[in-house]
Structure 1
Amino acid sequence: MRLPVTPHVVPLFYSLDEYAQQGVSGGPGKEGIPAIDTPQFVSARSAESFLRPEDIVFGVVLNNDIKAYPQKILVWHEIVNDRLGHEKVSVTYCPLTGTAMGFKRGETTFGVSGRLVNSNLLMYDRATNSYWPQILGTAVSGPFKGKSLEEFSVIWTTWGRWKQRYPETAVLSENTGYIRNYHRDPYGSYHPLSGYYAKGSSLLFPVLHRDRRFDSKAVVLGARTREGAIAFKKHSLRAKKIMEGSLGDKQYTAVYDPVLDTGYLYKNPDGKRFIYEKGHYTHADRQWEARELPLEKVNAFDAMWFAWVAFYPKTDTYE
């Protein structure tokens, strides 16, 4: 069975067996939260009928496809098995950890196991029944144990911002084949911030490690590499626009995108210095947008701090 995987390149702070053993039931059983296997899409104009400018969407640009997946739909399904250009992919969202991630899925599809590790979605691939914590992207059991999925960037932003940058975007339709109230979030609200998502709110499930450097529900922009894990507090990045960090002897630069309210992370081995001016980043008298700096981009994604540090307790942090 073909599945685009590599030997794991993400740091593992616990053994794969421990991750597997720490899995707990999230309530619904296997496939009790149904993945969307035959997604339907509508135009940006049609999406105006069910999306407000402030609604959260998860945006993807890959293989000349531009798509938006509304949080209000994925909160009920967590996985969309889709195609982007020629590639079969899964766009995934865990509402308990605030993580939206994309994976190439090859000849299989992913489903929701009904179990959690560190409160995070434990996906399984339907071809081999291997189990994959979403934040790890690495199988902790089954035939693919120890292998990591190939990932792609998923942008956490709002519908108004995404539509402004990509007016030609396609949008996941509410016509999912399931009867759900896509206008009610069972966990709370992002506008205004309330319920489970709010600062100081309690966790619902156990985690392997806790850390008080940030509030548990604070959002960080995190990345993991062969050198380890690094996280930038998103509120700080929003204010500073540029933040520098390091892992061992490797230098990194995080920059803020004011159009999408997101961040990007780059390897910066030569320590190039950029200046933020009116929405652009300047270096050596040339300007770039945040998404296109002349550096090697690292896949980074938003996560609630408690979940990030539960998987990566030795993470280097910046605020």
Structure 2
Amino acid sequence: MRDSHMTNGISRRRVLGATGAVGLSALAGCLGGPSILERGTNDESTSMSGPPTADRSLPEEYTADELEAASLSGGPGQDGIPSIDEPQFASADDPPATLEADDPVFGVEMDGEAKAYPQYILVWHEIVNDVVGGEPVAVTYCPLTGTAQGFYRGESEFGVSGQLINSNLVMFDRGTETWWPQILAWGLNGPLEGAYLEEFQVTWTTWGRWREQYPETVVLTEETGHIRNYGDDPYGEYNPRSGYYDNENTLFTPLATDDQFPPKAVVIGMRNADGAMAVPKETLRDQLVIEGTVSDVPYVTVYDEALDTGYVYHNPATEAVEYDDGTFTVDGDEYDPDALPLEREIAFDAMWFAWFGYYPSTVVHE
């Protein structure tokens, strides 16, 4: 059932304080703080250009007016949750002392350079403006929707607008101040309204898994230029899972709802010109290979046990993909899960309520 209504006038701070997940004073002093910028007054950024955009088509199930009407304040104002603009890194042999092997990290590998961004740091910042493999990028994370996504940023930087839509982070770029709902990767208003961002793959995994696969990786440190209580997640914990991450309550009403899965069950979501699809991550762990179609176009999703993640491939020729003794075979040849001879799509972990809220026409592959 589609529902455009979202709880108005209720901030993340107020709801979390009321539910006991964290005290209001802690959030006011750490998660956000006073707004640094007001929308439209960032004079310093006016000389910057906006991020590069892509010639692509993604499902659009709401109009810009509907999405703007559904936007609400998350509490802190624009840049009140500060992005990390001068990230500092440590080697895999000398990681932050509080980073444990089972802690979630968001892994990126570009042009031979690997970096890991711990969830317990990004929960306080949501955006890291960085350079990986020579490319200026933004690694973004929304705690309320469990989505970690990467965007090319060009000469611009991304910041946290302070707004939420469908509980999801709304970014803005400091070059044009266009709003960008993270999951949609789409310009909601401003000079780049209607444009799409260029994305790259971000892997939600654990520090131990990422370090094992990429021993030369570096890892983001707590030297962010901001004073935060790193290691004390204001929403709960992932290791072990607790608080907001371990209950079925959402802080705000989704744009659309569906009870096929628990609201915060993790799905691997993919969307492109054919439409949107979702694969329950727990099912993928069990089955290893899942096939299905989107608008009659065949796709196959495979499981990477080493990183506990999944990859979605466009499979128009319906190549037979099989798993045997740790490797995948296609047409008799063996491949690693991230290197099948098929066109790979951008896909990422998301909480089911958030994915369905934005893409109620999504096709589920099980």
TM-score range normalised by the length of the shorter chain: over 0.9
Is 1:282 the equivalent of 2:329?
yes
Q: Does the Cα contact within 8 Å between 1:32 and 1:114 map onto a contact in 2? A: yes
* 1:215 lines up with 2:251 in the alignment: no
8 Å contact from structure 1 (residues 58, 154) kept in 2: yes
Q: Which moved more, 1:131-140 or 1:6-15?
A: 6-15
| Runs of 4 or more above 3 Å deviation | none
280-289 vs 295-304, greater mean Cα deviation = 280-289
155, 166, 180: which one aligns with 1:107:
155
CA–CA separation in structure 2 for the residues paired with 1:174 and 1:270 = 47
**Closer, same or farther: CA 48–3 of 1 in aligned 2, 3 Å:** closer
State the AA in 1 paired with 2:256.
H
Which shows bigger deviation, 184-193 or 139-148? 184-193
Tell me the matched-pair count: 318
Cross-structure match for 2:59: 11
Asked if residue 56 in structure 1 is aligned to residue 110 in structure 2, the reply is: no
Which amino acid letter does the alignment assign opposite residue 315 of structure 1?
T
Partner of 2:164: 116
Matched, 1:127 2:186: no
2:305 aligned residue: 258
Partner of 1:293: 340
Aligned to 2:205: 157
The farther-off stretch of 208-217 and 45-54 is 45-54
- Say whether the 8 Å CA contact 1:59–1:66 is kept in structure 2: yes
Displacement, 1:41?
0.7
Q: Could you give the per-residue CA deviations for residues 247-289 of structure 1, whole angstroms, max 9, x where no partner exists?
A: 1121000000000000000001111112212221023332111
Amino acid at match of 1:235: E
Deviation, structure 1 residue 173: 0.9
State the alpha-carbon separation in 2 of the partners of residues 75 and 86 from structure 1.
25
Distance in 2 (alpha carbons) for counterparts of 1:247 and 1:226: 10
Kindly provide the amino acid, as one letter, of the partner of residue 308 in structure 2.
D
Amino acid at match of 1:189: E
Map of 1:89 onto structure 2: 137
The 2-side partners of 1:17 and 1:64 are apart by 42
Q: CA deviation at 1:49?
A: 2.5
Partner SS for 2:94: helix
Q: Counterpart of 1:77?
A: 125
CA apart distance, 1:199? 4.2
Distance in 1 between residues matched to 2:331 and 2:172, nearest whole Å: 47
C-alpha distance in 2, partners of 1:284/1:227? 25
Match of 1:268? Answer: 315
Structure 1-normalised TM-score?
0.97
Comparing 96-105 and 275-284, the one that deviates more: 275-284
**What is the one-letter code of the residue matched to 1:265?**
V
* Counterpart-to-counterpart distance in 1, 2:96 and 2:324: 32
The letter of the residue matching 2:337 is A
CA distance in 1, matches of 2:55, 2:211: 37
> How far 1:190 sits from its partner (Å)?
1.2
SS at match of 1:291: coil
Of structures 1 and 2, the larger Rg is shown by 2
Contact 1:199–1:218 (8 Å) recurs in 2: no
Q: Which residue of 2 aligns with 1:313?
A: 360
Whether the aligned pair in 2 keeps the contact of 1:7 and 1:146 (CA below 8 Å) is no
Matched AA of 1:213: Q
For the pair 1:227 / 2:285, whether they are aligned, the reply is no
Residue identity in the other structure for 2:83: A
1:35 corresponds to which residue?
83
Q: TM-score, normalised by structure 2?
A: 0.85
CA RMSD of aligned residues (A): 1.1
Measured in 1, the distance between the counterparts of 2:144 and 2:200 equals: 21
Provide the secondary structure at the position in 2 that maps to 1:47. Answer: coil
Which residue of structure 2 aligns with residue 21 of structure 1?
Answer: 69
Q: Alignment partner for residue 166 of structure 1, among 187, 211, 214?
A: 214
